[in-house]
Structure 1
Amino acid sequence: MSFVEIDIFGVYVAPIVPMMLLALVATLCLRRVAVAVGLFRWIWHPALFEFSVYLILLTALVLAVGALKLPI
């Protein structure tokens, strides 16, 4: 795995930042689905559950980008 910085208008951004944003958007979408289905009624600690889902999505995204050798 080799990640390089992303140059955005002369500002170098760590490659994890776009992946974090993508994982956040995916987590928010999954949260809306979970609320609509009524999943949060069965979860003991919703904030901990959301954080765990975010970390799982971020980890999967980082591993997928690293395995695919995408230039991020």
Structure 2
Amino acid sequence: MERRNWDIERVLFSLPAIVTGSALNFHIVTRKGGVMLITLNWQLGVLGVPDESEFVQDVLTRIRAPLTDFVAVAL
């Protein structure tokens, strides 16, 4: 039996918001030498802010900056 090598180059996944779970659900995937992907899900109406999309974008921006700095130092 011939064995073939293969490699996963990119993964994207997301899960639905969990009604009985936390208000924000983070899902993170990465691979050695690859990119890190973070998705953020929430149940509409539970965040208690006027603009949920703007709030979530702000959260992701605040997470991205320290991770970017960390990667720059680690390399």
TM-score range, shorter-chain basis?
A: 0.3 to 0.5
Structure 1 length-normalised TM: 0.43
Greater relative contact order structure (CA < 8 Å, 6+ sep): 1
Which structure has the larger Rg over C-alpha atoms?
A: 2
Structure with greater helix percent: 1
